[in-house]
Each structure stands twice: as structure tokens, then as C-alpha cells.
């Protein structure tokens, strides 16, 4: 069974069709979603964890449908999500950001949640910032905390929506290094990114979305050698 | 200015020690009762304000039927309606102090409800979404993530309301609600 099974999904905002009859299966691997701005990449990720409702079709996450509202919390425990703008909780310090949900939702004991948080913060290189507040951190550091926060819930899948787009090149490198090491550990990731060379290096599969449709879905090597006008133009455009 | 100064000094010299104790006691009672009505008003206002933040059509507008008239009319008028109007229409008959503190409580609730609504609405949508994406329910998102942020926004305007209500209640008790209503 596919980890995520997207079946004939159509998503509209009013009259604007943003995802147009998409069907695809995502498995235990690393997939990159590429495509021009406004093509529906973020919307697709948001439909997968039910932050956006879909109008037609169905999405099954680990066999559970997003169309039943009472399934959503379960689906969101399966899919961790990291956003472009980090979205840390500003009133909580780093360790609280990371431990809040494991304690409140998974029912972990504070001590064990903090122990896990420490190992995650060590992994993202921010153990010494555990007692800092988000406002005291750089964008790159905040995003690394956001990754630790998502991982603290032990998700099966990590949804990453342009997690380096708001960062300068140096911070981008820090964050990509962490994602690459997660990839090395076998974490399933579905990432929307404009970091083409990164996508090429770590992902097994590329999905190219254009105007709400899957314009290409192929193994990474094939994608970068395919003779397709639209893809060539996109690749030239993003560098 | 001269006249009133004269008035106050003349009266003040006639006050005995017992009068002063009596007045302080009365002021203390008024203050305690006012604080109590502010507390009740805050709780009611919180509930009403929260309902206005729900994304449930119609239901989230219902509290405004209560809120808007109270926010947009003078408190003294509300007091008169409760004290004189209600007994004319119903069998309910409040004492003047009951009427005063019910009015103050409801009036406070109306203002607090609007501040609660604004404080919650001021928290960016992405804070809710991050909470949901981590698996929190609406209630859990609110209590663990949104409330703390909204509370900081709530405090300054709420303090303004409390201070203004304290002014009103001390004014009411000073001029004697009794006298303006001729109810004594
Ligand atoms: N909340 C929303 N309401 C209305 N339209 C939206 C909303 N979110 C996204 N859209 C529209 O959906 C389209 C796809 O957006 P998005 O998924 O964010 O694109 P991408 O992530 O590929 O840049 C855009 O045309 C955008 O304007
Ligand atoms: Mg996007």
C-alpha cells in the first residue's frame, strides 16, 4: 500500500481550479515536487494533511481518508509538516516548542519528551539554544527548530513546503545539510523546493506540477535528461 | 471652581471621624461589589467573545445581539431600563444595587467580548495551522498555543475597560444612585 494515495483529486478556491484531477501514489522514499510559482504545490501538500479540504476525489494517508474530518488528527500525526515561514510558537521557548505536542497529544512524560527533544536539537545543532525564544533566533535557526518540532511527533512522513525559501544562502545550506542527513537515515520526505541541485542530489523521484496538473512524474535521473520543452524552460528559469 | 471648592471644604469640616469610617466602609463595599461584577462580566464576555471567533455561521453572530446595544448606549440608560423598565414589563424587580451591578457586569461583558474577539483574531492563521499540522484539535490549539499569545494582546484594552468601569461605579455610588432615581 502506498503511504499516500491521491485519487482523482480536484481542489478549487471558488471558481479557481488549483489542483485538476490529480492521481498519484507516494511511497516510502524521497520525492521532490517542482513547478512554477502558483502551480499548486503548497496546496497539494496542504490537501494531504487536510489543512485544505478537497472538492473531488480522495486522499488516503496510510489508508486513512482525509475526507472524514475525524480522521484528520490521526493523519496529521502521520504527516509532519514544515512551513516556509517556520511558524514557531513565539510565546514558547525552543524546548517547549518541541515538547508541547508530544506531551499534549502523544501523552509523553515531560522527562522523556525533553530527552527526545534534546537529541533532536542536537541533531539540528541547536542544543545550546534550548532556552531561547524564537525571536532570539535567526531564520535558519528557527527553521531547524521547526524541523525538530515536526520530528518530535515521530511522523512517518515529513511534508516540507519550500523550507529554505525565506532563508539566505548560508542558512539555506545549514537547513539542507540537516535534511540530507535525515534523508540518509531513511526519513520519508515529500518536499516542495526551488533548490534544484538539492532535489537532484537527495530525491529518488521528481513530480513536476504545472497549472494544477502533474506534468511529469519520473525518477530523478530521467527527469533531468528528459527532452521536454516545459521542463527545460522551468529548469533554465530557476537556475 | 471657587464655589465647589468652598462647598467641599465646608462639608469636610463637618465630617466626624465616624462619618469618615462609614464612607470608607461604603467605598470598600462598592469597590468589592464592582470588582465582583467586573469578574463576572469578564467571564461572560470571554464566553461571548469566544463564540464570535468560531467559524460557525449565524452562531458566531448571535452574541452581537447582546453586545452591540450594551456597547452603544450609555450605562446610565441601561441602568434605568433595568431598574424601572423591567418591573413594568415583567414581575422581576431588582434592588437598586442589584440593578447597578447587573448592569455593570453585562456592560463589561459586552466590551470584554469585543476585546476577546479582536485578541484572538490578531493571532496569525499560520499559528493555528502549525498547531493543527502537529495534530492538535481546535480546543488544544486554543488552550496551548493561541491563548497565551492572545492574552498578551487582551490585557491593555481590558485594563482600560476595568478602569473606566471603576470610575463609573464610584461616580454612581458618590452621587447616590438613590438620589438620581428618587428611589430612596
Ligand atoms: N487560501 C487561498 N485562497 C484562494 N486562493 C488560493 C489560496 N491559496 C492558494 N490559492 C491559489 O492557488 C494557486 C496555487 O497556489 P499555491 O498552491 O500556493 O502555489 P505554489 O505553492 O505552487 O506556489 C494560486 O493561484 C493561488 O493564488
Ligand atoms: Mg507554495
Residue range A223-235: average pLDDT?
A: 89
Per-residue pLDDT tens over the stretch A73-131: 999 999 999 999 999 999 999 999 999 999 999 999 999 999 999 999 999 999 999 99
Is B95 domain-assigned? yes
Among B132, B133, B140, beta carbon nearest to A104: B140
Share of chain B above pLDDT 90, in %: 59
* Ramachandran class of B135: left when φ > 0, alpha when ψ lies in -120 to 50, beta otherwise: left
Supply the residue whose CA is at minimum distance from atom 21 of ligand 1. Answer: A42
Is B7 domain-assigned? no
Q: Are A118 and A67 in contact (CB under 8 A)?
A: no
Is B6 domain-assigned? no
Q: Which residues are CB-neighbours of B23 under 8 A, at least 6 positions away?
A: B15
Supply the residue whose CA is at minimum distance from atom 26 of ligand 1. Answer: A38
Residue B88's domain comprises 16-183
Res B24: pLDDT: 78
Q: By the CB < 8 Å criterion, does A77 face chain B?
A: yes
Interface contact B135-A81, CB threshold 8 A: no
Is B11 domain-assigned? no
Is B90 domain-assigned? yes
From the CA of A43, how far away is ligand 1's center (Å)? 6
- The ipTM estimated for the assembled molecules is 0.95
Three-state DSSP class for residue A191: strand
Is B2 domain-assigned? no
Is B60 domain-assigned? yes
> In chain B, which stretches have pLDDT less than 70?
1-15, 175-184
Res B4: pLDDT: 44
Identify the DSSP state of B82.
I
In DSSP terms, which residues pair with A61 in a beta bridge?
A4, A64
Reported as a pLDDT band with limits 50, 70 and 90, residue A16 is very high
Is B76 domain-assigned? yes
Give the CATH number of the domain where residue B21 resides.
1.10.3720.10
Res B32: pLDDT: 87
Q: Which residues are CB-neighbours of A64 under 8 A, at least 6 positions away?
A: A71, A74, A75, A78
Per-residue pLDDT tens over the stretch A129-182: 999 999 999 999 999 999 999 999 999 999 999 999 999 999 999 999 999 999
What total number of domains does chain B contain? 1
Amino acid at each position: 500500500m502506498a503511504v499516500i494515495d491521491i485519487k482523482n483529486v480536484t481542489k478549487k478556491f471558488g471558481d479557481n481550479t488549483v489542483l485538476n484531477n490529480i492521481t498519484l501514489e507516494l511511497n516510502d522514499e524521497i520525492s521532490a515536487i517542482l513547478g512554477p510559482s502558483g502551480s499548486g504545490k503548497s496546496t497539494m501538500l496542504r490537501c494531504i494533511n487536510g489543512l485544505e479540504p478537497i472538492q473531488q476525489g480522495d486522499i488516503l494517508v496510510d489508508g486513512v481518508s482525509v475526507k472524514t474530518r475525524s480522521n484528520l488528527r490521526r493523519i496529521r500525526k502521520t504527516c509532519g509538516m514544515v512551513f516556509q515561514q517556520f511558524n514557531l510558537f513565539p510565546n514558547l521557548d525552543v524546548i517547549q516548542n518541541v515538547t508541547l505536542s508530544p506531551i499534549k497529544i502523544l501523552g509523553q512524560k515531560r522527562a522523556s519528551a525533553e530527552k527526545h527533544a534534546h537529541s533532536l536539537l542536537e541533531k539540528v545543532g541547536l542544543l545550546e539554544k534550548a532556552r531561547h525564544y524564537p525571536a532570539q533566533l535567526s531564520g535558519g535557526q528557527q527553521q531547524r527548530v521547526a524541523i525538530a518540532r515536526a520530528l518530535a511527533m515521530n511522523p512517518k512522513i515529513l511534508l516540507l513546503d519550500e523550507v529554505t525559501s525565506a532563508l539566505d544562502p548560508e542558512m539555506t545550506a545549514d537547513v539542507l545539510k540537516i535534511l540530507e542527513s535525515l534523508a540518509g537515515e531513511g526519513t520519508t520526505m515529500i518536499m516542495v523546493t526551488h533548490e534544484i541541485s538539492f532535489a537532484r542530489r537527495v530525491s529518488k523521484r521528481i513530480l513536476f506540477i504545472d497549472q494544477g496538473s502533474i506534468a511529469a512524474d519520473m525518477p530523478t535521473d530521467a527527469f533531468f535528461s528528459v527532452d521536454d520543452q516545459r521542463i527545460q524552460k522551468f529548469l533554465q528559469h530557476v537556475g | 471652581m471657587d464655589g465647589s471648592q468652598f462647598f467641599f471644604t465646608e462639608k469636610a469640616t463637618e465630617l466626624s471621624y465616624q462619618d469618615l469610617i462609614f464612607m470608607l466602609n461604603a467605598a470598600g463595599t462598592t469597590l468589592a461589589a464592582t470588582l465582583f461584577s467586573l469578574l463576572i462580566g469578564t467571564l461572560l464576555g470571554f464566553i461571548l467573545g469566544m463564540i464570535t471567533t468560531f467559524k460557525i455561521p449565524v452562531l458566531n453572530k448571535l452574541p452581537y445581539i447582546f453586545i452591540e446595544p450594551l456597547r452603544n448606549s450609555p450605562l446610565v440608560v441601561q441602568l434605568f431600563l433595568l431598574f424601572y423598565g423591567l418591573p413594568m414589563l415583567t414581575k422581576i424587580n431588582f434592588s437598586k444595587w442589584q440593578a447597578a451591578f447587573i448592569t455593570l457586569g453585562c456592560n463589561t461583558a459586552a466590551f470584554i467580548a469585543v476585546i476577546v474577539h479582536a485578541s484572538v483574531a490578531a493571532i496569525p492563521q499560520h499559528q493555528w495551522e502549525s498547531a493543527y499540522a502537529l495534530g492538535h484539535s481546535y480546543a488544544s490549539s486554543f488552550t496551548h498555543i493561541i491563548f497565551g499569545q492572545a492574552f498578551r494582546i487582551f490585557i491593555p484594552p481590558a485594563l482600560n475597560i476595568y478602569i473606566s468601569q471603576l470610575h463609573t461605579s464610584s461616580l454612581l455610588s458618590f452621587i447616590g444612585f438613590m438620589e438620581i432615581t428618587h428611589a430612596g
